[in-house]
Structure 1
Amino acid sequence: MQITRTGFLMGLAGIGGAAAQTQPRPKMHRFERQPLKVADFDAEGYVLDIGGGGEGIIGRMKPSQVVAIDLYKNELMESPAGPLKIVMDATEMKFLDGQFATATAFFSLMYMQPEVQRKVFAETARVLKPGGRWMVWDAVLPMLADPGMEQGTKGPLFYFEFHLPREVVKTGYGTLWPQVRMDLPYYRSLAEAAGFRIALAEETGGQFRTFRMELRKA
């Protein structure tokens, strides 16, 4: 099941079509807002941003360099102007092999099922140049059965305050409870299976955890 950031939050707010408004709002396990500093980074040439719609955080930082792809047109339309925006499935990208030196994924993996994630990892490795890097930011997704999670909820809802080099962006990301715990070891295994070398992997956070990874193509 594929869900979008915007669609999930619209549902929580009771916004959408008439059919959506007749449905009860999903009960979510809500985490308190958490600040997260997003540092700028050097990149040569175009930067492929996977799932770059919505708030378009990477596109805000590097508007003239980013090629933002997203499965949903409305997500790209809502993102800030600047990047080149393309509706594209990240499991089957239309780019030739070895086209990018840098790729990013900013809180987009959390919306994908494991089988989709595996394909995205493989496709990202394919379109990166040898030695290219993939920079990933995302939330650690607990399971409903984990201690402290509110029973009867549909999934976690994370509130953020992103501190970018030139602005602050407040937003929230909600998704469904995963069937497997999507933590740093989980994503490390996906990266290694796709042939990436892990150059950096770290967790941060307080009430809930986030992680950042930098992966290198051999």
Structure 2
Amino acid sequence: MKEEKIYQAPNQEIKLDKTSFDGHILDIGGGGEGVIGKLYGKDVISIDTDKNELIEASSDNSGLLRILMDARDLNFLEKSFSKVTSFFTLMYIKSCDRRDVFDEVSRVLKDNGVFEVWDVEIPEFKEEKEEEVFLIPLKISLPKQTIRTGYGVRWRDHSQNANYYLTLAKKKGFSLVEKHKKDKIFHLKFKKRN
């Protein structure tokens, strides 16, 4: 088996604080470090397609509700959530499937509900590149702890940037509330239009 070559982006830092909201948060791809679950605790319903990632997320957060589920087919009733989050999850979803995710998020969000996305800019894959994997190392500062981790994907079919999601969100009935960009990472906050 050949060893894959990895492109490692520069180290990135992100600071998260709680914001107020009503109801529960649906956290897409909330396995692994379970960052949103660590921030909001029992107010979070974390979904992931990987059972082991969900088990890892609960290792130090026993109040977290975890469900094995695909974000392209959310098994929740319409208008179930006031807030949906995606913390460095969309980067793992192929470009051809991201529209389905936005459709499902729109369906399960209440009118005027919020969809928050934190992610990284991944440039277009070039055939002549030697690197096959794109890796982003992160330092995540929460009110009570700091998490050091990295997220990596096969580069092909995973390019993205903030403008890509701004365009997709507008097509899917969302309006932009906030946009923050720092080096390679971005945070977008959308509101579902009535």
* Shorter-chain TM band: over 0.9
Q: How many residues align?
A: 190
For residues 29 and 123 of structure 1, the distance between their equivalents in structure 2, rounded to whole angstroms, comes to 32
Which residues of structure 1 form unaligned runs of 5+? 1-22
Secondary structure of 1:64's partner? helix
Q: TM-score, normalised by structure 1?
A: 0.83
Does the 8 Å contact 1:141/1:178 carry over to 2? no
Secondary structure of 1:93's partner? coil
Who is 1:204 aligned against? 182
For residues 128 and 69 of structure 1, the distance between their equivalents in structure 2, rounded to whole angstroms, comes to 15
Query: How far does the alpha carbon of each residue in 1:105-153 deviate from its partner, in whole angstroms, 9 at most, with x for none?
Result: 00000000112111000100000000100111001111234xxxx9311
Q: What amino acid does structure 2 have at the position aligned with 1:133?
A: V
Asked whether 1:59 is paired with 2:37, we answer yes
Q: What amino acid does structure 1 have at the position aligned with 2:116?
A: M
Who is 1:36 aligned against? 14
Asked whether 1:91 is paired with 2:72, we answer yes
Secondary structure of 1:63's partner? helix
Which structure 2 residues correspond to residues 131-210 of structure 1 after superposition, within 5 A?
Answer: 131-145=112-126, 151-179=129-157, 181-205=159-183, 209-210=184-185
For residues 110 and 182 of structure 2, the distance between their equivalents in structure 1, rounded to whole angstroms, comes to 29
Query: How far does the alpha carbon of each residue in 1:193-212 deviate from its partner, in whole angstroms, 9 at most, with x for none?
Result: 1111111122112xxx1110
Query: How far does the alpha carbon of each residue in 1:142-181 deviate from its partner, in whole angstroms, 9 at most, with x for none?
Result: 1234xxxx93110211111101111100000011224474
Secondary structure of 2:41's partner? coil
Asked whether 1:73 is paired with 2:51, we answer yes
Asked whether 1:213 is paired with 2:191, we answer no
For residues 118 and 35 of structure 1, the distance between their equivalents in structure 2, rounded to whole angstroms, comes to 28
Which structure 2 residues correspond to residues 17-32 of structure 1 after superposition, within 5 A?
Answer: 23-32=1-10
Deviates more, 1:73-82 or 1:160-169: 73-82
Who is 2:106 aligned against? 125
Does the 8 Å contact 2:12/2:185 carry over to 1? no
Does the 8 Å contact 2:125/2:159 carry over to 1? no
Shift of 1:34: 2.1
Deviates more, 1:71-80 or 1:90-99: 71-80
